[in-house]
């Protein structure tokens, strides 16, 4: 009786182990697709890398500093408030990433926005 239980347990374990290799790997989201998130009001769009409007413009550090000094740009610190309080670029505005959409109207108009997170 005991040997039958051991054999049944071994077969069950072998079946589970074999089943994991038959399960296809999870699919990653495709560029340009929308994926549901735990918040039904929030949707994340993965930009298509071939779409030039979907990519953020990168500027050299020296250009960013010059634009801010000339009043043409402003730094936006998108880290948490605690991280901002621990240290940030002088003059940077704190707008945590999870609040960015709701705070868009508070950002300066007609200025180049330079977000950073580290």
Tens digits of residue pLDDT in 94-103? 999 889 888 8
The CATH number assigned to the domain with range 57-116 reads 3.40.250.10
**Which helix (H) or strand (E) is 113 found in, with range?**
strand 112-116
* 115 or 41: which leads in pLDDT: 115
pLDDT (tens digit per residue) in 16-71: 555 555 555 556 555 554 444 455 555 555 556 565 555 677 888 899 999 999 99
pLDDT of residue 30: 58
Question: What are the boundaries of each domain within the chain?
Answer: 57-116
- Distance in angstroms (rounded) separating the CA atoms of residues 91 and 76: 9
Joined tokens for residue 114: 């330079």
CB 111: neighbour CB atoms within 10 A?
13
The pLDDT, as a whole number, for residue 64 is 92
- pLDDT above 80: residue 11: no
């Amino acid at each position: 009786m005991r040997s039958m239980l051991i054999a049944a347990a071994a077969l069950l374990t072998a079946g589970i182990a074999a089943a994991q290799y038959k399960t296809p790997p999870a699919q990653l989201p495709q560029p340009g697709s929308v994926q549901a998130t735990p918040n039904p009001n929030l949707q994340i769009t993965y930009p298509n890398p071939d779409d030039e409007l979907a990519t953020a413009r990168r500027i050299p550090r020296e250009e960013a500093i010059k634009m801010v000094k000339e009043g043409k740009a402003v730094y936006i610190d998108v880290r948490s408030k605690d991280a901002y309080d621990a240290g940030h670029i002088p003059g940077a505005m704190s707008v945590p990433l999870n609040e960015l959409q709701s705070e868009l109207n508070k950002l300066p108009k007609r200025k180049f926005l330079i977000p950073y997170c580290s």
